[in-house]
Amino acid sequence: MNALATPKKWEQYFWPLLACALFLALWHYAVLWSHTRIFPSPREVERGMVELIHQHVLWGDIADSLRRVAIGFGAAVLLGVPIGLTLGWYPAADQVVNPTMQLLRPISPIAWIPVSIILFGVGDDAAIFLIFLGAYFPIVVACINGVSNVPAMYRRAGRNFGLTPAELLRKVIFPAALPQILIGLRIALGIAWLVVVAAEMIAVDSGLGYLIIDSRNSGKRYDLVVAAMLLIGVIGLILDLAFRRLERIKSVRWGFRNAS
Amino acid sequence: MPYTMSFTEDATPTMTATKLSVDHVNMTFTRDGKTTPVLEDINLEVREGEFICLLGPSGCGKSTLLNTMAGFLQPTSGAIRIDGEPVTGPDARRIFVFQERGVFPWLTVEGNIGFGLAKLPRDERARRITHYIKMVGLEGFEQSYPNELSGGMKQRLEVARALAVNPDMLFLDEPFGALDSITRLVMRGELLRIWEAERKTIIFVTHDIDEAVQLADRVVVLNSRPASIQQIVEIDIPHPRNLSDPRYLELRDGIFQQIGLAHKV
């Protein structure tokens, strides 16, 4: 395919579907030829998926995972956006806080598991705290960068029209930084979805992460393990696609590629 | 000197009140312990309703001068007064127009023009928005976003946003520099039409000699680094100006010579 030519309608669907089919075929024959008794074939996973869907616990698990992400991610947004905007607005404050934040940022939320259990005990709160940690730093960093990358021209135009600092922040800085903030939120949501699965393996007894670990522990049901994995992938994809729809809102679309 | 020019080295305006006075303004930038003079002893008086072009090569300091007039920069020494009051910062009575990049991409055409009008009652605000959309010919684009507009339309939008707050001065920093030459000619005509209708005092920075001679009442020719006033040329041709008029060519060629350019390609 020529990278410059716009693909035909059928090509837009055909090639991705072909890649997917090839992946399934590779998986199928790898299982067949290696004579593995443990790892399930695509057909077995499909049957496992059907079994899960017929069990009512699956919907409960999905709802629990989504609820934890919603709370943890929501708290990270509510706390991270104002803090990020403030640090972006006052570079002096950012210089004070930044080294500490850069030190904490590379620590995987998984490493926080023991600490979160000490703080919150084994349960929902510990899992939500881990999601919060995973989402918080990318949000703060995106807000700081978003604000400090606002072109000086916009700030000056705002000041020229006699805005107070509070108005300037609300009417100029925030809308100007919003596309970058949205990118940060999207990354954070992806991380939150990664972390929830890990958190549910340790701290709680419901959710998709728990489903995986429970399927293995209770009878080595690897067909259910892989089915749950695929489900996590599909839901993550849906969350991402849903979030990307925000990029089409007209007042932020200018900040994204392919803006028209 | 082969050309007869009306020189006004130290212009003493008599017809109307002085709007802006620049009095012995000097400016130095300090970077890495090195001080660079940018503006050197600038003296200028601008009358109410006058159209002034600051002309000089790129990087000569003319934008710095414009920014000090608008209050975004403070001169190192000397004073700038508008209506007799010292300039201490930017003010909504005097709007700075950037190249079209100053429009807010997150607001519609209407939102941009109404940006400075938040304190007005709703109907007055709507009336002004309609008026200026019409004045700059953006009817039908009220709900469009800037990235759906051409460069020339964005430039007109920014001028409309500035005019909507009814300022008494406009500062324009190479406003048409990013436009193609045809749009640029059209925009000059539009700006003059608006200026004749509203009679704002306009300070217009450009490096284009033709543009300066086409637009200005007086052209302030600046030397390079540090910027100092080389000469002030009065353009005594009434609008609309005929670009093949001998007087036009005479004034233009005079400035070419003054700047030290051989007028041949």
What would the DSSP string read from start to end of chain A? Answer: --SSSPPPHHHHHHHHHHHHHHHHHHHHHHHHHHT-SSSPPHHHHHHHHHHHHHSTHHHHHHHHHHHHHHHHHHHHHHHHHHHHHHHHH-HHHHHHHHHHHHHHTTS-GGGGHHHHHHHH-SSHHHHHHHHHHHHHHHHHHHHHHHHHTS-HHHHHHHHHTT--HHHHIIIIIHHHHHHHHHHHHHHHHHHHHHHHHHHHHHS-S-SHHHHHHHHHHTT--HHHHHHHHHHHHHHHHHHHHHHHGGGGSHHHHTTSTT--
What was the pLDDT predicted at B113? 94
Contact of B196 with B168, CB cutoff 8 Å: no
Judge contact between B253 and B87, C-beta under 8 A.
no
What pLDDT, on a 0 to 100 scale, did the predictor assign at position A4?
Answer: 61
pLDDT in tens, B220-256: 999 887 888 888 989 988 888 888 889 989 898 888 8
Query: Which tokens hold the place of B119?
Result: 């304190």
List pLDDT tens digits, range B167-178. 999 999 988 887
**Cβ contacts from A onto B, under 8 A:** 54
Residue B9 scores a pLDDT above 80: no
Verify whether the Cβ–Cβ distance A159 to B101 is below 8 Å: no
Query: B183 — phi, psi (to 5°)?
Result: -60, -35
Question: Confidence band (pLDDT; 50, 70, 90) for A37?
Answer: confident
Q: Which residues pair with B220 in a beta bridge?
A: B54, B232
A222-245 confidence digits (pLDDT tens): 888 999 999 999 999 999 999 999
pLDDT, tens digit, 9 for 90 and up, residues A207-219 = 999 999 988 888 7
* pLDDT score recorded for residue B135: 82
Token pair 């926080």: residue: A112
How many angstroms from the chain centroid is the CA of residue B126? Answer: 27
Q: Can you give the pLDDT at residue A135?
A: 95
Contact between B59 and B225 under an 8 Å Cβ cutoff? The reply is: yes
Chain A residues near residue B98 by CB distance under 8 angstroms: 153, 157
* Per-residue confidence (pLDDT) for residue B201, from 0 to 100: 93
Residue among A156, A162, A255 whose CB faces B92 most closely: A162
Number of H helices, E strands in chain B: 7, 10
* B142 part of contact set with chain A, CB < 8 Å: no
State percent of chain A over pLDDT 70. 96
Q: Name all contacts of A102-106 with Cβ < 8 Å and 24+ positions apart.
A: A104/A137, A105/A137, A105/A141
Residue predicted with more confidence, A204 or A134: A134
Query: Angle at CA B159, nearest 5°, toward B153 and B164?
Result: 120
Q: Is B125 on the interface with A (CB under 8 A)?
A: no
Beta strands in chain B (DSSP E): 18-31, 34-47, 51-55, 77-82, 85-86, 94-97, 169-173, 201-206, 218-222, 229-234
pLDDT of residue B193: 87
Model confidence at B4, in pLDDT bands (50, 70, 90)? Answer: very low
Residue B214's pLDDT is what? 92
**Å from A247 to nearest chain B CA?**
12
Indicate the SS3 state at residue B79.
strand
pLDDT of residue B100: 64
Question: Is residue B153 pLDDT above 80, yes or no?
Answer: yes
What's the confidence (pLDDT) of residue B263? 57
- Reply yes or no on whether the pLDDT at B112 is more than 90: yes
Nearest to A254 among B90, B96, B147 (CB): B147
Return the bridge partners of B18, or none: B47
SS3 at position B83 = coil
Residue B114 contacts A where some CB pair is shorter than 8 Å: no
Amino acid B36: pLDDT: 87
Assess contact for A134 and A192: CB atoms under 8 A.
yes
pLDDT tens, B80-104?
A: 999 989 999 999 899 999 876 789 9
Chain B nearest-CA residue for A150: B104
CA dist B38 and B68 (Å) reads 12
Distance of CA B177 to the CA centre of its chain: 12
At residue B91's C-alpha, the angle toward residues B85 and B95, to 5°, is 115
For the cut 90, the answer to whether the pLDDT of residue B45 exceeds it is: yes
Nearest CB to A161 within list B107, B115, B147 = B115
Residue of A157, A175, A259 with shortest CB distance to B102: A157
CA-wise closest residue to B167 among B219, B90, B98: B90
ipTM score assigned to the predicted complex: 0.81
Highest mean pLDDT: which range of A4-18, A175-189, B180-194: A175-189
B89 with B73: CB under 8 angstroms?
A: no
Bridge partner list, B219: B53, B233
Nearest chain A residue to B148, by CA: A260
Residue B1 has pLDDT above 50, yes or no: no
Number of Cβ atoms within 10 Å of the Cβ of A82 = 12
Q: Are the Cβ atoms of A156 and B165 closer than 8 angstroms?
A: no
Query: Which residue in A has a C-alpha nearest to residue B72's C-alpha?
Result: A156
pLDDT in tens, A43-100: 989 998 888 888 777 888 999 999 999 999 999 999 999 999 999 999 999 999 999 9
Q: Is A162 close to B95, i.e. CB distance below 8 A? A: no
Identify the pLDDT of residue B15: 56
For residue B240, whether the previous peptide bond is cis, meaning omega lies within 30 degrees of 0, is yes
pLDDT tens-digit series, residues A92-126:
999 999 999 999 989 999 899 999 999 998 888 99
- Give residues with Cβ within 8 angstroms of A36, minimum separation 6: none
DSSP character for A30?
Answer: H
Segment holding A148, helix H or strand E:
helix A124-148
Q: What's the pLDDT band for A18 if we cut at 50, 70, 90?
A: very high
pLDDT tens, A177-206?
999 999 999 999 999 999 999 999 887 888
Across the interface, which of B95, B102, B106 has its CB nearest the CB of A153? B102
Inform me whether the pLDDT recorded for B10 exceeds 70.
no
The pLDDT score that the predictor gives to residue B32 is 84
Write down the pLDDT at residue A56. 72
Amino acid at B71: G
